[in-house]
Structure 1
């Protein structure tokens, strides 16, 4: 069955549309399992399950047999969300007879739910005349098939391919989950952007004049054919016979009437030449990759190369000025800063990237300019969404395509409320961050771009708790020189002078990669990252530290922060190298004060050695993002476990309190610079724990200040004591929400997730 499964998956992946997928599955599963019937029921907008494909039942029943959740055996599978395996189905109390299907002859029944992100999308069923119980292997095979089908159905629902049974209208409110990249809500229209000649990133677009589009396609094909022939002739005397045959094969494929015919057929169905070509080529690539013959399987790369050549010609020959609507939702597989720059000023409302994380350069840039962003939306069928209405929920990491009127109203209310809160908070920028009973708390900012500095100072920032020095490294195609680094660091230090600027040494690895210094690992978050990289490459570390120290001359507002420290020796070696760089510069004539050196608390081992680390350093700074994921064993950039990443988990809160107590016991200040510090709900608890500084994105600073100024330290400590005794995250959130409502601070809470209907 494993061989059959692979073959079916290959066919499904190359299928044109949802009906083709359903047809392939019912036919192939029926044959593989040697049953008389295989059927697929899909959930419609009314939460009912409709027979959408069958091999064995009356085909005229498709679209007409409809069951509610809990009704009939199909409804039973949907409600139980687990397989139902019966040898005498007709004797089961939930059995319902539908004359139009002709299924009364079938006794054996096996149904498995089709589940995507905990939501039952449909039911996959096999039936047999002879009464018997399907064995474990057969059940496991069908469960595997349903898992393959789930993602396809979710994509079809989002792109409008799943037509509602009772009307010609397309379904609405398709929801996809990702990682919250930058807070806020954006409502607008999607513009899909992609790098050139990327076959898997061609946006779906219709063509108004199929005849013209076919002519354009054939002309482009002729130009590529001529170019390939010319290239083959030019290389004729420099390559061997086998390599020359490759160019002949390319020309042969371009002359292949069947391939061009498939493309033209799809163009005549109303899609653009680029999209039609990419579809056909990807199907051919899949077919070659599934072949058993090694030689033919290797030809898949040749087909891909040829496909990219033709696509590049189609794109270049059909360049037209991109139209960006007033509220552009920019969508792409992996967005870059240059792609954002293409959108005219004032028109970029939201950002959605299929790949990337909350630490990606685009996400950091989005937070600095206040654009709601969702990263890592891996299930988003982005190529099919161009021109569609979209909602980007940057608070919860959700993306909605074709939202309903009710959902639009819900999110428009959030947008209006956010604007009111921003206007209301403007008056606080010059006020002191002080509780009602006189406790002062310093609010600093996290920065990484030059643009961050201006916004941070406008919001009343009192310093920089985290300057991400990897950003200048990410913006280049090589390691920046010592002088280039010095200039960048000097700009930051001067912009915030006389306030302190905490510069974290190069923190790469994990989800932060440099294109010119790739780190390939199976488990990057537990691998070579942070201080581990720079201590293994002291030449990189010393150049960076020298640049920082030089930049601080005459200002002396520099603080150095060491990331990913997990043991005392790492701290001591790093300190030794910093002292070495300092002494070298003093000998060279620089007049520099030795800056404070701090340790980032990001891993559990550092939590348990916080006292010893504080004793050996000048300050501690908690990186709550990494600390949370390591304590909970949850990859914060994995959408499949995003629901388990809870920053207010009791274990996380107790670890934070332990770090504060350990640092203060050594007389050392402690700050926190993760996303948690910018959450007004959490900020109240962090202040009560005793954190000396909260460092956050500039966009959150005034919200946090408003909350701190609205409550007394005494009340905050009482609330913290209550919360630290709670057993689960849900209780923590409920308690904090009740406290905020009682204090009249409901407007500062993260907006609620809309209830799914």
Structure 2
């Protein structure tokens, strides 16, 4: 039995088998072989295994994000049938007498370079696809298999750290808890854990090499402790505590269908934050009044090229149709900072949190922005859709956005495409936006306060830097004063203001936010009923 102490990012307790996810650099060694035909046979077998894996991934993606977004896995399957690609590997094995792993890796590098050098943008994008396929083949040749969790039993995910692109591809139904060596309390792994209502620990000083997939573990999000290979008495105590937590959840379930109204009659909207249409089930399950933050950048993660206008349209349309008239607020892409995407070619930055990200990318590369706006305006016809723009710092940025919106509207009109210009708001997540919120309120339909970035920029603390967790104080008086100022300036202009950052789910601040006049709190789906309970039971304002 091994105990490790970490930091809890979501409370809860769970027991189950471990799935250890290790990073691989795929450095392949060249080795001389005696039987080339045996190596060729190994390649053919790995190709067949890879096709089956991609088939499973395609089926899973169709269920979760729709057929258009799943198409990338069909492309990968077709590439595995390309005769030039396969013959190149087989010839290298036979002529140079090298091992299968080396032949696959070398051929992958050669084809990737060839595609990258082409002028055609579509062919250039295939470079990343070839790399992905070659890595999959090498994994299967070396016996590492696939990290696709759909083939595993429900497990506790143990890793060094997890990127947003890794977490977005996971089969969420198979995850019992997250435990990572690194990570921040504000990381996207933490956000995902809170959305899914599962315990998660970060900063756990464990040696991944000493852990094995399949071993039992207990993750205690209340104490911040993980126990590997727990003894029988610990297992019995854990089962008892899990039962107690289930009973508490059952009591919260009784609040479904009830309104978010304080005893003195003040109503507040409680909405959900999501990352993809695959999360809509959590929204419905927890009885959210709407979606206050659809993180559209997750449509761009975990893939090798930009999502098309049609792919985005289908995702947004599915969200608004599923919510059946309830409000769905979609944030335009917030790529950059901790959400890096290779095909955006953003380059290395000394301080990416203060760099080329979010609305700055959209204004500098309007062709990307226009494709998203076209998809959003087309989807707005099918339900109660609103759009909000992130990382605003000036009125000039809002004017530039509206100029691009006007261009998109004109294009859609000319093409006789059905569309609707929805309600448009902005994220308040920089001190600059707070200080001019009186002027910004005159230009937009609503404010949504992103407390994660607002806190980081106000306190000059990188929220992804785990060494600064002790200095990161989301309850800082300056942050709370800023929230109050934004709400007051919105109301002076007859506009509404909500909070969609993680602070909105801080149950110790709920009553304070209601008294400030905050109109909406958008939180992880798992927090909806907990907030509703506080709102309905809070004391009348004196």
Q: TM-score, normalised by structure 2?
A: 0.72
State how 1:209-220 maps to structure 2 within 5 Å.
none
Separation (CA, whole Å) in 1 of partners of 2:403 and 2:35: 59
2:255 pairs with 1:436: no
What SS does the corresponding residue of 1:186 show, helix, strand or coil?
Answer: strand
Instruction: Please say if residues 439 and 713 of structure 1, whose CA atoms lie closer than 8 Å, have aligned partners that are also in contact.
Output: no
Alignment correspondent of 2:372: 544
Conserved 8 A contact 1:189-1:325: no
Q: Given the alignment, which residue of 14, 18, 29 partners 1:190? A: 18
Where do residues 83-98 of structure 1 align in structure 2 (5 Å cutoff)?
A: none
Question: Contact 1:351 / 1:372 at 8 angstroms: preserved in 2?
Answer: yes
Unaligned runs of 5+ in 2: 40-87, 103-134
- Per the TM alignment, residue 446 of structure 1 is displaced from its structure 2 partner at its CA by 1.0
Residues 646/688 of structure 1: CA separation in 2 closer, same or farther (3 Å cut): same
Show the counterpart of 2:343. 516
Please list the CA deviations of residues 156-213 of structure 1 after superposition, one character each: whole Å capped at 9, or x if unmatched: xxxxxxxxxxxxxx8x533234x72x5533233433133667589xxxxxxxxxxxxx
Q: 1:234 to 1:513 in 2, by over 3 A?
A: same
Q: Which of these residues, 564, 567, 570, is aligned with residue 391 of structure 2?
A: 564
Q: Distance in 1 between matches of 2:299 and 2:538?
A: 40
Structure number with greater CO (CA < 8 Å, separation at least 6) is 2
More displaced stretch, 422-431 vs 512-521: 512-521
Return the alpha-carbon distance in structure 1 between the equivalents of residues 191 and 451 of structure 2: 16
Give unpaired runs (5+ residues) of structure 1.
Answer: 1-169, 201-220, 251-307, 719-757
Distance 2:90 2:17 in 1: 48
In structure 2, the CA distance between the partners of 1:372 and 1:572, relative to structure 1 (3 Å rule), is: same
Shift of 1:713: 3.9
1:683 and 1:484 map into 2 onto residues whose CA distance is 37
CA gap of 1:518–1:380, structure 2 versus 1, over 3 A, is: farther
Shift of 1:351: 2.0
1:452 to 2:286 alignment:
no
Instruction: Give the corresponding residue for 2:442.
Output: 615
Q: Is the 8 A contact 2:20 2:211 kept in 1?
A: yes
Q: Is the 8 A contact 2:187 2:464 kept in 1?
A: no
Displacement of 1:325 after TM fit?
Answer: 9.6
1:308-339 CA deviation, whole Å, 9 max, x = no partner?
A: 99x969842999x9999977322133553598
Counterpart for residue 215 of structure 1:
none
Q: Secondary structure at the match of 1:616?
A: coil
Match of 2:424 in 1: 597
Cα pair distance change 1:323/1:192, threshold 3 Å: farther
Whether the 8 Å CA contact 2:511–2:534 is kept in 1: the answer is yes
On the 8 A contact 1:175/1:401 being kept in 2, the answer is no
Q: CA deviation at 1:641?
A: 1.8
Shift of 1:384: 1.4
Asked if residue 705 in structure 1 is aligned to residue 532 in structure 2, the reply is: yes
Q: Secondary structure at the match of 2:508?
A: helix
1:651 to 470, 475, 478: 478
Cα deviation digits, residues 199-240 of structure 1 (max 9, x gap): 89xxxxxxxxxxxxxxxxxxxx9x95417999999779999x
Pair 338,509 (structure 1): closer, same or farther in 2 beyond 3 Å:
closer
The answer to whether residue 463 in structure 2 is matched with residue 636 in structure 1 is yes
* SS of 1:626 mapped into structure 2: helix
| Alpha-carbon offset, residue 428 of structure 1 | 0.9
Distance 2:310 2:140 in 1: 42
Query: Shift of the alpha carbon at 1:580?
Result: 2.1
Q: Partner of 2:45 in structure 1? A: none
C-alpha change, 1:394 and 1:560, in structure 2 (3 Å) is: farther
The structure number with the bigger radius of gyration is: 1
CA contact (8 A) 1:452 1:698 kept: no
Residue by residue over 1:136-172, the C-alpha shift from the partner in whole angstroms, topping out at 9 and shown as x without a partner, is: xxxxxxxxxxxxxxxxxxxxxxxxxxxxxxxxxx8x5
Structure-2 separation of matches of 1:577 and 1:491 = 25
The question of whether the paired residues in 1 share the 8 Å contact of 2:320 and 2:382 is answered with no
Report if aligned partners of 1:611, 1:663 keep a CA contact under 8 Å in 2.
yes
Q: How does 1:168-179 map to 2 (within 5 A)?
A: 172-177=2-7
Contact 2:5 2:224 survives alignment (8 Å): no
| C-alpha displacement of 1:705 | 0.2
Shift of the alpha carbon at 1:701?
Answer: 0.2
Identify the residue that residue 384 of structure 1 maps to in structure 2: 210
Structure 1 residues 234 and 608, CA, compared in 2 at 3 Å: closer, same or farther?
same
Gap change, CA 1:496 and 1:339, over 3 Å in 2: closer
Contact 1:357–1:511 under 8 Å retained in 2: no
